[in-house]
Every structure is written in structure tokens, then in C-alpha cells.
A and B are shown apart, each in its own frame.
Chain A
Amino acid sequence: MSAEARLEILTRVNRAQPAEPTRFQRPARPVSGRDEHDVVEQFAEYAAEYRANVIRTSRSALPAVLGDLLQGQVQVAVPKDLAADWLPAALAVHRDDPDLTDLTVITAVVTGAAVAIAETGTVVLDHGPGQGRRALTLVPDHHICVVFEHQVVESVLEAVQRLHPSARRGQPLTWISGPSATSDIELSRVEGVHGPRTLDIVLVAGPP
């Protein structure tokens, strides 16, 4: 049935689609000359407006900051390839290697990110190195996402461009702008429905 349907739909489309005289020209995209510092500040501001907790730190202070954020968390998970030196040496974590079978017992997860977007306050995971599989940052209630300042781009457009190789490789992507939220009841915004109810973004200055 599907082969017949396929042929019929494509035939109908071919008959229906208009003849287009010219090809679509994608507009030229001037590269913004904006100061990198401003871009990072805007990201921090906009991410915070969406109720993410934004913590600024340096690379050397990162383990201490993560240690503070994880205080009191007993079941912490990390992707299998998360750099060990991000975390405090004494911290016990569950590495997702092999895959953890029950993510519901995990209370917090620490990952990196692929890109962050100033224009929207978004962090993007392409689930590459240090970011784990999708479920890892979905089921636990507290997501701590480490973003390096050099990963922050100004616009959605730049982010899409930077993520092109991941998309071409077929990697899944998750764009996260603040914690899970709904506005379904009288359009009043409620944070925390099914995804992590707490999102901490640790924004790290300086070289990676």
C-alpha cells in the first residue's frame, strides 16, 4: 500500500507544484562584530531570565564550584567520558558506563555542552563528548551544565552553523532554554514539569 501511496503522492506533488523561475537565494549573513564579552554577558543574563541558575567561574575553580552545587546530592551521574578533572577528587559519581539501568534514582547529573546562544539564553547539547545520551539529562531532576565562554555564540544562526557537522553526522541534539516549563493553564508560566526542575549553568571563563 505504501509504495502505491508514495507514487501517487509524488505524482500529485509533481503535477501541483509551481514552476519556479529562479532558485531561492539565501541572504548573505554578515558576521556580527559584537564584542565577545558582551555576547557572554547577554547569554548569562538571558539564561538567568529563563530561571536557569547561572554561576560564573574560572577553569581552576570549576571542581570547587561543582562540589558546592552537588553538596547534599547523594546520587550523581556523569557521562562516561566527562573529564575527570572537572569534578572534586573526593566526589563519588555514577559514570554512565555501562548505561545506568535506573536513572530515576539519580538526583543530579553533570554534563558539558556543545554550544550556547546569547540571543536566546539557550544551551545546546549535541550529545557528543562529555554530554551523554539524551536520557541522562532528562530523567534526573537537577541538571548541571558546564559551558565554556568560548562556546557562546551570539545568534541562533551562528549556533545552527556551528552545529552543522553534528547534524550531518546524524547526532541527536537537545536545545535547552531554562528548566522545563508550561504555560498551558491560563498562560501563566510554571517551571518544572517533566524535564529537570533545576537547571544550573556553570559558565567558565578563560581557555578550556
Chain B
Amino acid sequence: MKIDLFITCLNDAMFPRTGEATARLLERLGHEVRFNERQTCCGQMHFNSGYQHDALRLVRHFVDTFRDADVVVAPSGSCVGMVRDLYPRAAEWAHDDALLAEVQALTPRVFELSEFLVHHQGLEDVGAYYPHRVTYHQTCHAMRVLRVGDAPLRLLQRVRGLNLVALPAVDQCCGFGGTFSVKNPETSTAMLADKVQHVMSTNAEACTAGDNSCLMHIGGGLSRLQSGTRTVHLAEILASTEHEVFA
């Protein structure tokens, strides 16, 4: 299958390794992977912060970039959530029917990585090897907007060598929420404190998730506490093999 990667701006700038792992994993599974260099940002940060007119510029840019793609796969639940759930809202609220039609034509072909593998491709064992103690954080948008369900867990359970430990209160938000973490830093920190405490209670070497925005937040807390637990994107675990270590 021809897959267009949507790497997302955060991964592109801050977590290139995640993008690389996503590309390698999909290629290993036999897909033809493309990266359209016109891509930038989905506009989630603007949209969620209240700058919806500014976000529209990015919505249109995304639609222009990926209009001809067969399938778009991204290693981020919240960015795919933005595209699938909020692009139609953005077009409706701007009363732009032409954009709405384009969005509706495109968004059913945009997938988050784990849902693409499990729900779309019917895969659970992607041939990964990762001999570490790992705990998994369920990100809100993957869970409640995209409804990926247990797709990430099913993938992790089939990773050879991986010791998966359950994260207490797994369905609780880490407190990032984009602009929320800046506008309400104390409340966000209170939520993060609980999340970090739960992660540390698992004694995991790594905390994984399908979204580097949440992981950046959790990782920020773990790093400040010198906890010794790292954050690792799900794609990097799934891309890792005996021969090639991504994380």
C-alpha cells in the first residue's frame, strides 16, 4: 500500500526519531512510504487555543497537501483527532461548504498508527523486539476521539521480550492539553503529579504512548524528578528489532 506519512510538526522538529521509526516500521511491513515535504502542522494548537481563523489556514494547507493521498498515517492520536473530529467543525464554523466537502472526502483516509495497523490492516504482531519493562499510557484523544480501544496494547503484547506492566488509572489525562498546560499551569501540574506518580509506581524502564505531546509532558515531569524512567513513543518500540534499536 502507498502510505503518506503525516509526521506532525512536533515530531518533525522535536522527535524526528519517532518519524523515522514510523517510516521504517511501515516499510518493514511492505508498504511504500512517502513523505510529502509540503506538510507542516495540522493546526490543532491554533484551533484549541481559540485562534480558529488562523487554524483554517493550516486546515486548508493540510487538505491541499494530502488531497491525493491513498492513506495518511500519523504517529499522533491528537493530531489525527484534530483532522478527523475537528476539521469538519472548523469548516462548518467558518461556513465554508467547499472546504467541508474536501475535508469529508479526505478525513476517512487519515489514521493514527496503531489503529491503522490493528483495525485497518488486521495486524498485531509487527515483528518487533524490545527487551524492556514498559508501561503504557492511554492518550485521551486516541481513546475518546479516535476510539482506538486496545489497539496499542494488542501491538505491545506481541512485542518479543517486552514486559508490559499495567499503569494505574490508565484512563486519566496527564494534564497536558496543549495551551491548558500554559494557561492553567498549576492545575495541569497537579494532574501531571498523579500521572508521574503512577508511572513511577510501575518501576517501568519506559513509559510509552501513541502521542509525543502527552509523552513530552509526562517526560518533562519524569525528567524533572530524575526518575530514571524514560518516555518512548509506541512507534519506536514497534520499529525496534533484534538488529535495529530505535529507542
The reply, when asked whether chain A contacts chain B directly with Cβ atoms under 8 A, is no
